[in-house]
Amino acid sequence: MNFQEGTIFAIDKPYRISSFGALAHVRYLISKKIGVKRVKIGHAGTLDPLATGVLILCTGRCTKQIEQLQAHTKEYTATLQLGATTPSFDLEHPIDQNYPTAHITKELIEEKLRCFEGDIMQVPPVFSACMVDGKRAYDMARRGDEVQLKAKPIHIDKIELTDFSPETMQMTIRVVCGKGTYIRSLARDIGEALGSGAHLTALRRTRVGDYRVEDSISYDHFREWLDSMDVKRI
């Protein structure tokens, strides 16, 4: 394996670690292993710190393929809490408003989910890396500045309900989607479609193109994986 020349592999990013933080850890271990100060490396598609799963990493000349890899179909499993919203649409921020849920049934959820399949417009979360006048939206939002983001076209191939608890008002969905889809925004929109509110409590990216989470390298055991590989040193 020649990391300096170029390789592509996927790691299983853990909870509460940013994509950049995961990349930096992997870069340090690879650089130390092959004897360079700083190996060239990038990731194909950011995962939120509170999300887990497939994070594709490219080294060397393979970093030129990042844009192509980002365009691949992605698959997620997501758990939503109905009846409450947060400013970030996930657990990064506390609940800011509660909504009625007594009218929500499994049948209503399945009916509304069908409306999200195909080509739709979606407004990204204000707590996101979207650029607004040359600034990151999340930086502006965390300062308390008003952030206005425009709806963008996205494509959702498939969305299905895999679990629903009327007692806790939690639901789990599987989503197959294209580039630029924010599952946090999808949670917000599903809540609104149900005449209530919703936010993400768990998110896992299970696939990016042909890269599946079950075949990804464990972040916590990356050093052991690296030591087991035949790696070309400088």
Active site residues: 48
Q: How far is CA 102 from CA 59, 97, 166, 168, 193, in A?
A: 51, 16, 9, 11, 15
Q: Which two tokens stand for residue 233?
A: 């040193």
Cβ-based neighbour number of residue 80 at 10 Å: 28
CB 42 within 8 A of CB 64: no
Q: What is the DSSP string of 66-134?
A: HHHHHTS-EEEEEEEEETEE-TTSSTTS---EE---TT--HHHHHHHHGGGSEEEEEPPPSSSS-EETT
Q: Are 189 and 135 in contact, with CB atoms under 8 Å apart?
A: no
Please answer whether residues 216 and 56 qualify as being in contact, where contact means their C-beta atoms are separated by less than 8 angstroms: no
Both structure tokens of 213 = 């989470």
Whole-angstrom CA distances from 229 to 141, 209, 224, 232 are 43, 24, 9, 9
